């Protein structure tokens, strides 16, 4: 990580990073520092906006313009910024509580409007900064500081919500899967329109091991499927399993017997409708392997495209303002 | 034009000059009463009268027909002298049904005129209005001059030739009623005819024009009226004029302030009565480069404006009390970020949903103190519809000079009321100078929380090389802006932010005292009650009473010199449409025992409310 920081000093700020040692956020920060210099966007044209929570300290640690806002509101702040400054590349860093509980509305609306911002949701399925209460993505039964008898309710699923909001770019990656995460971040940056990335992030203080199935090298290959456009959904340590689309939905099949690769679902991230993407997003551990990679990447006019704002030069604006002031019925007193 | 000749002809007979007239149109909320009143106002203004209007309508778009709860009213005063209010009492009440009569009779002058649609005074209409017997027949209206006009049937007859349906024909009733008033007060029909042609087409436009003329002829030929009247032009300063409502003037002010400061206007809002109209208007200013954003909620509205401000635009948002409550946390963020931002609150009756379409001044303490932490911001209030234009420009000048959010407190009365407004010359208005720091030449790190002589920090814009920095809601170290939990630094920053807001007083005009410099009684007013207070004081002074008036346009900080002024009078009276919020602030700050005149009925002050209190306080009860 130190080596990364040394090779790209221009995106690393001088602030002391204050996450708990061992936090998954460090790995994500390292990837961002690696990816940002490769995008062709200068630090001064990059803005990182966040809400409240552990992940939302992110802007302080990058030498870009940044705003650490209020709880849940980063997408709204970013929307106003991008609307008036289309020249900037705007990132939003948020967490499961920030984006799906207190700020859920803003996430949905930023995505449906296709505001050209990149939203990274660090999902650790817990409230960290406030010391370990359940979050909207916590699984039922999880014992937390506010649910000593176990969390009661069904969780929200970020990818399903993003797809339901008709987001044009939806992806998932894992904090410590450096190569995969780096590629997903690059894809998100390259997307024109809202990009939504869920990152499985381990909070080893309050919810350690929440994503063991996706992170533990010994077992992860049997529990996650890395999807790629135009490729069949194959997974497993020995790449001997796949996802087939049955009339009842996606099902896991073993390859080599009744089914082979040509029988499998081939991923199409460009599909006009997001029906299949929703099915993939609905594959959940432990019943199914969970998908990582880009679920959807389609073109749609951005918020700014649709608003068609004009920027008249001062002289023609003066004429236009003058016309406004004289609108309606007027009369002159000599 | 045939009508023009008739105007001259009928006025040549025996029109009587009157100085000022108050008309109130009242009917169901779908009866077009707002249109009728607005058209009388425009036509009168074009004839050179001073005008003031008071739309008074229920929150429901189509409230239960025929019931007092559903009555929509529009009051307009036009005069041959300067007027500051739409008038305390009504000369002519136009009542389109029994409920409208019932709801508005109380405001009618003694011996005033009532024009009723007698067709609507049937058993059903009377029952819906909960009249046990017909007020037209039982002698209860004997003190008034009642004109029983068959408005509905005459309208239908007038448009019969077009062969249109009953429903459309009936919908033109308001134009027939207007026609009667236009004849009675010699109003010119030209502007309203032009309006009809611009808003409607085909047989609807034809029907409206026929109804308007039929109403006029009804007034002229039926001899229901003994005579007609005329209101000569008022003397006005030279210039080009138009009518504006407060919300209209706010919208124009926003666009003009953006232009004067060379900024892109970003106006973000969530629909709410009575502020939505600002959003509607600014959304049409696209040719001027305005960017509007109808956000998903009040919080997103202000947060997107903060985002726009960070990027260097003129970030603005508007709402009413309940919406401002939702914006509160973000307002605190803006205070902490020290970014310029305008927040408009068009106050309405509260608390909670309260009285959405009615006026109150009950959000003053919310504006001044309603945030967590020590979070001061300048608070300004326009004194009339036209003043809304000036106040926005003033507020934006302060916001950018001091790098702070500024709250503007309008109200439903000011927002919806209209008055003639002298159109300013945009080319001669003083520019709003804004400086953004440039890329540094040396190696010294940029300090986003360094301060200038106004204690304002630099507004460094994303995109500028060498000035990358992070801001946020956590306390900053003085100068560097780095996160700091240091106790002494926090206290220093709290005081710096407070001291900075105090400097607002240096950017606002000195107070003006209308009346004696010292003496018996000083009336202190703020916001939209200005007109009623001003007229009341002029009347009291004419009655020989020692009373002075000072009006506050800046509520936080309170203006320079106010403390000294207050101490020069034996009694200080603060009339407010709340339970004494300014009184509380002034008492706390200056230890002066201010008296209150407080009204919270969802109605504006009448001039008489204030003159009565002045007379009472000075022992000169009328």
Alpha helices in A130-236 (DSSP H): 158-164, 178-190, 212-215
d(CA B601, CA B360): 8
Q: Which CATH code fits B242-422?
A: 3.40.50.970
Average pLDDT over residues A156-172: 98
Options 3.40.50.10860, 3.50.50.60, 3.90.1150.10, 3.40.920.10; CATH of B2-230 = 3.40.920.10
Give the chain B residue nearest A316 (alpha carbons). B288
Average pLDDT over residues A142-161: 97
CB contact under 8 A, B287 and A328: no
Q: Which of chain B's residues have a Cβ under 8 Å away from the Cβ of A79?
A: 293, 300, 304, 307
Residue B290: phi and psi, rounded to 5, are -65, 140
Predicted pLDDT of residue B10: 52
Percentage of chain A modeled with pLDDT above 90: 94
d(CA B576, CA B347): 13
Residue-wise pLDDT tens digits, B412-444: 999 999 999 999 999 999 999 999 999 998 888
Evaluate whether A61 touches A94 at the Cβ level (below 8 Å). Answer: no
Q: Which of chain A's residues have a Cβ under 8 Å away from the Cβ of B311?
A: 47, 80-81, 84-85, 88
Tokens describing residue A168: 């044009």
d(CA A288, CA B428): 70
d(CA A54, CA A51): 9
d(CA A7, CA B176): 81
Within 8 A by CB and 6+ apart from B233, the residues are B47, B48, B49, B80
Predicted pLDDT of residue B13: 59
Mean pLDDT over each residue of chain A, to the nearest integer: 95
CB contact under 8 A, B259 and A318: yes
Contacts across the A-B interface (CB distance below 8 Å): 206
- Give burial (CB, 10 Å; 0-12/13-18/19+) of A12: buried
Instruction: Indicate the pLDDT class of residue B547, thresholds 50, 70 and 90.
Output: very high
Domain ranges of chain B: 2-230, 242-422, 513-617
Q: How far is CA B87 from CA B109, B208, B410, B489, in A?
A: 11, 29, 20, 55
Residue-wise pLDDT tens digits, B56-114: 988 887 778 899 889 999 999 999 999 999 999 999 999 999 999 999 999 999 999 99
Evaluate whether B395 touches B256 at the Cβ level (below 8 Å). Answer: no
Nearest-CA neighbor of A206 among A148, A128, A142, A122? A128
**B466: region left, alpha or beta (phi > 0 left; psi from -120 to 50 alpha):** left
Beta strands in A175-322 (DSSP E): 195-200, 224-226, 234-235, 241-246, 249-254, 290-297
Q: Mapping DSSP to helix (H, G, I), strand (E, B) and coil, where does residue B76 land?
A: strand
Within 8 A by CB and 6+ apart from A315, the residues are none
Alpha helices in B47-172 (DSSP H): 98-104, 123-128, 151-159, 166-171
Q: How far is CA A148 from CA A141, A190, B471, in A?
A: 10, 44, 37
d(CA B554, CA B409): 10
Q: How far is CA B214 from CA B3, B93, B180, B208, in A?
A: 11, 19, 8, 10
d(CA B134, CA B127): 10
d(CA B73, CA B93): 10
Residue-wise pLDDT tens digits, B282-319: 999 999 999 999 999 999 999 999 999 999 999 999 99
Mean pLDDT over each residue of chain B, to the nearest integer: 95
Instruction: Indicate the pLDDT class of residue A5, thresholds 50, 70 and 90.
Output: very low
**Token pair 């500024």 is at which residue?**
B406
State the DSSP code for A232. Answer: B
Distance of CA B110 to the CA centre of its chain: 29
- Does position B29 have pLDDT exceeding 60, yes or no? yes
What chain A holds in terms of domains, given with CATH numbers, is 2-210+301-307 (3.40.50.970)
Instruction: Indicate the pLDDT class of residue B1, thresholds 50, 70 and 90.
Output: very low
Predicted pLDDT of residue B30: 87
Contacts 24+ apart (CB under 8 A), B514-517: B514/B548, B514/B549, B514/B550, B515/B541, B515/B546, B515/B547, B515/B548, B515/B549, B516/B546, B516/B547, B516/B548, B517/B548, B517/B568
Q: Is B546 on the interface with A (CB under 8 A)?
A: no
Predicted pLDDT of residue B621: 63
Instruction: Indicate the pLDDT class of residue A15, thresholds 50, 70 and 90.
Output: confident
- Give burial (CB, 10 Å; 0-12/13-18/19+) of B368: buried
Average pLDDT over residues B382-387: 98
Tokens describing residue B54: 């008071």
Residue ranges of A 1-20 with Cβ closer than 8 A to chain B: 13, 15
Tokens describing residue B63: 């409230």
| Longest CA–CA separation in chain B, Å | 91
Average pLDDT over residues B250-270: 98
d(CA B42, CA B33): 14
Residue-wise pLDDT tens digits, A28-83: 999 999 999 999 999 999 999 999 999 999 999 999 999 999 999 999 999 999 99
Nearest-CA neighbor of B75 among B103, B111, B97? B103
Nearest-CA neighbor of A242 among A231, A229, A253? A253
Out of B243, B313, B473, the one facing A68 most closely (by C-beta) is B473
Give the chain A residue nearest B284 (alpha carbons). A324
Tokens describing residue B164: 């249109």
d(CA B463, CA B465): 6
d(CA A109, CA B20): 52
Evaluate whether B383 touches B412 at the Cβ level (below 8 Å). Answer: no
- Does position B265 have pLDDT exceeding 80, yes or no? yes
d(CA A333, CA A182): 69
Q: Which of chain A's residues have a Cβ under 8 Å away from the Cβ of B463?
A: 44-45, 85, 87-88
Residue ranges of A 34-63 with Cβ closer than 8 A to chain B: 42-45, 47, 49, 52, 59-60, 63
Alpha helices in B65-188 (DSSP H): 98-104, 123-128, 151-159, 166-171, 173-184
Instruction: Compute the nearest-CA separation of B403 from chain A (Å).
Output: 16
Residue B511: phi and psi, rounded to 5, are -70, 145
CB contact under 8 A, B469 and A66: yes
- Does position A325 have pLDDT exceeding 80, yes or no? yes
Tokens describing residue B250: 């706010």
- CATH class of domain segment(s) B513-617: alpha beta
- The string of DSSP letters for B486-529 reads -HHHHHHHHHHHHHHHHTHHHHSPPP-EES-SSEEEEEEEEGGG
Nearest-CA neighbor of B393 among B367, B362, B424? B424
CB contact under 8 A, B463 and A85: yes
Q: Is the omega angle on the peptide bond into residue B351 within 30 degrees of 0, that is, cis?
A: yes
Nearest-CA neighbor of B278 among B236, B244, B240, B304? B244
Instruction: Compute the nearest-CA separation of A240 from chain B (Å).
Output: 47
Predicted pLDDT of residue B6: 55
Predicted pLDDT of residue B572: 98
CB contact under 8 A, B288 and A324: yes
Out of B268, B288, B311, the one facing A321 most closely (by C-beta) is B288
Q: Which of chain B's residues have a Cβ under 8 Å away from the Cβ of A323?
A: 287
Residue ranges of A 90-149 with Cβ closer than 8 A to chain B: 105-106, 108-109
Predicted pLDDT of residue B93: 98
Nearest-CA neighbor of A197 among A141, A118, A277, A137? A118
Say which range, A6-10, B15-19, B148-152, B243-247, has the weakest mean pLDDT.
Answer: A6-10
Percentage of chain B modeled with pLDDT above 90: 91
Residue ranges of A 177-236 with Cβ closer than 8 A to chain B: none
Residue ranges of A 291-310 with Cβ closer than 8 A to chain B: 307, 309-310
């Amino acid at each position: 990580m130190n080596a990364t920081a040394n090779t790209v000093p221009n995106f690393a700020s001088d602030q002391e990073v204050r996450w708990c040692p061992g936090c998954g956020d460090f790995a994500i920060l390292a990837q961002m520092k690696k990816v940002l210099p490769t995008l062709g966007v200068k630090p001064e044209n990059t803005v990182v906006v966040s809400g409240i929570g552990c992940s939302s300290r992110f802007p302080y640690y990058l030498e870009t313009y940044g705003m650490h806002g209020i709880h849940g509101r980063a997408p709204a702040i970013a929307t106003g910024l991008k609307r008036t400054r289309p020249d900037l590349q705007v990132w939003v860093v948020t967490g499961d509580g920030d984006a799906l509980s207190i700020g859920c509305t803003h996430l949905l609306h930023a995505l449906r409007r296709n505001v050209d911002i990149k939203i990274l949701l660090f999902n650790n399925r817990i409230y960290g900064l406030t010391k370990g209460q359940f979050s909207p993505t916590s699984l039922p039964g999880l014992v937390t500081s506010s649910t000593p008898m176990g969390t009661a309710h069904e969780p929200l699923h970020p990818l399903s919500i993003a797809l339901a909001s008709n987001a044009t770019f939806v992806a998932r990656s894992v904090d410590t899967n450096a190569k995969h995460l780096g590629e997903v971040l690059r894809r998100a940056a390259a997307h024109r329109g809202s990009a939504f990335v869920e990152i499985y992030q381990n909070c080893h203080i309050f919810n350690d091991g929440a994503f063991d199935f996706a992170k533990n090298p010994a077992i992860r290959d049997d529990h996650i499927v890395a999807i790629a456009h135009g490729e069949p959904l194959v997974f497993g340590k020995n790449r001997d399993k796949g996802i087939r689309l049955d009339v009842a939905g996606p099902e896991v099949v073993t390859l080599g017997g009744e089914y082979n690769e040509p029988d499998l679902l081939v991923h199409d991230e460009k599909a006009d409708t997001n029906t299949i993407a929703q099915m993939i997003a609905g594959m959940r551990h432990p019943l199914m392997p969970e998908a990582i990679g880009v679920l959807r990447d389609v073109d749609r006019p951005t918020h700014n495209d649709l608003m068609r704002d004009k920027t008249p030069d001062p002289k023609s604006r003066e004429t236009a303002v003058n016309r406004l002031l004289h609108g309606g019925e007027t009369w002159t007193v000599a | 034009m045939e009508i023009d000749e008739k105007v001259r002809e009928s006025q040549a007979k025996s029109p009587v000059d009157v100085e000022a007239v108050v008309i109130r149109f009242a009917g169901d909320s779908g009866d077009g009463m707002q249109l009728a009143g607005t058209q009388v106002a425009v036509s009168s203004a074009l004839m050179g009268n001073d005008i003031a209007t008071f739309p008074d309508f229920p929150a429901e778009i189509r409230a239960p027909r025929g019931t007092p709860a559903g009555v929509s009213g529009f009051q307009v005063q036009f005069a041959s002298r300067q007027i500051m209010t739409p008038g305390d009492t009504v000369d002519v009440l136009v009542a389109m049904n029994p409920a409208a009569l019932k709801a508005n009779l109380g405001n009618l002058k003694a011996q005033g005129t009532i024009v009723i649609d007698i067709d609507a005074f049937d058993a059903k209409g009377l029952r819906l209005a909960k009249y046990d017997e017909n007020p037209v027949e039982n002698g209860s209206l004997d003190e008034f001059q009642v004109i029983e006009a068959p408005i509905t049937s005459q309208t239908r007859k007038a448009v019969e030739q077009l062969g249109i349906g009953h429903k459309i024909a009936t919908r033109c009733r308001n134009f027939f009623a207007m026609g009667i008033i236009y004849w009675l007060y010699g109003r010119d029909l030209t502007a309203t005819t032009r309006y009809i042609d611009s808003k409607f087409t085909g047989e609807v436009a034809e029907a409206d024009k026929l109804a308007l003329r039929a109403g006029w002829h009804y007034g002229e030929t039926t001899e229901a009226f003994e005579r007609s009247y005329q209101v000569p032009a008022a003397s006005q300063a030279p210039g080009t004029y138009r009518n504006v409502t407060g919300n209209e003037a706010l919208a124009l002010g926003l666009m003009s302030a953006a232009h004067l400061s060379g900024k892109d206007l970003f106006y973000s809002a969530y629909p709410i009565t009575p502020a939505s109209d600002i959003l509607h208007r600014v959304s049409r200013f696209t040719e001027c480069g305005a960017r509007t954003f109808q956000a998903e909620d009040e919080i997103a509205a202000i947060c997107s404006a903060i985002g726009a401000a960070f990027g260097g635009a003129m970030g603005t948002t508007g709402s009413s009390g309940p919406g401002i409550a939702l914006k509160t946390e973000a307002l605190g963020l803006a205070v902490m970020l020290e970014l310029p931002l305008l927040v408009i609150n068009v106050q309405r009756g509260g608390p909670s949903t309260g009285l959405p379409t009615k006026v109150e001044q009950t959000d003053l303490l919310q504006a001044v103190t309603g945030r967590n932490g020590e979070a001061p911001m300048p608070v300004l209030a326009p004194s009339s519809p036209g003043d809304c234009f000036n106040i926005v420009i003033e507020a934006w000048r302060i916001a950018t000079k001091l790098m702070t959010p500024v709250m503007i407190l309008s109200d439903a009365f000011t927002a919806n009321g209209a008055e003639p407004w002298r159109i300013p010359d945009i080319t001669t208005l003083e520019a709003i100078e804004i400086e953004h720091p440039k890329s540094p030449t040396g190696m010294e790190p940029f300090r986003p929380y360094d301060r200038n002589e106004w204690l304002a920090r630099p507004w460094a814009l994303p995109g500028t090389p060498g000035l990358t920095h992070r801001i946020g809601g956590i306390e900053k170290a003085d100068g560097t802006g780095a996160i700091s939990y240091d106790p002494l630094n926090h206290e220093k920053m709290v005081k710096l932010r407070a001291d900075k807001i105090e400097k607002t007083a240096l950017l606002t005009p000195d107070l003006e005292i209308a009346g004696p410099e010292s003496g018996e009684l000083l009336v202190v007013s703020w916001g939209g009650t200005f007109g009623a207070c001003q007229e009341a004081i002029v009347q009291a002074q004419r009655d020989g009473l020692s009373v002075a008036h000072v009006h506050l346009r800046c509520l936080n900080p309170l203006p320079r010199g106010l403390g000294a002024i207050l101490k020069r009078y034996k009694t200080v009276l603060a009339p407010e449409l709340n339970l004494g919020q300014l009184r509380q602030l002034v008492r706390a700050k200056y230890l002066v025992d201010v008296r209150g005149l407080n009204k919270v009925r969802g109605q504006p002050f009448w001039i008489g409310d204030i003159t009565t209190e002045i007379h009472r306080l000075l022992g000169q009860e009328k």
